[in-house]
């Protein structure tokens, strides 16, 4: 799967739970090689 798609899904899910969780998750996913 495309990382952008995974990030988009994670964004939609995390956004409903916690904005900070979203930012941290996106940062971690983006930093991974």
The residue assigned the tokens 């983006």 is 30
Number of domains in the chain: 1
Q: What is the pLDDT of residue 19?
A: 65
Rounded-to-integer distance, Cα 22 and Cα 25, Å: 5
| Whole-prediction pTM | 0.38
Q: What is the pLDDT of residue 1?
A: 60
Q: What's the average pLDDT block by block, 10 residues per block, for the chain (33 residues)?
A: 83 71 77 75
Q: At what angle do helices 3-17 and 19-31 cross, to 10 degrees?
A: 160
Q: What is the pLDDT of residue 17?
A: 66
Q: What is the pLDDT of residue 15?
A: 67
Supply the range of the domain harboring residue 28. Answer: 1-33
């Amino acid at each position: 799967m495309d990382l952008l798609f995974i990030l988009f899904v994670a964004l939609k899910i995390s956004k409903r739970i916690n904005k900070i969780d979203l930012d941290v998750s996106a940062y971690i996913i983006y930093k991974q090689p």
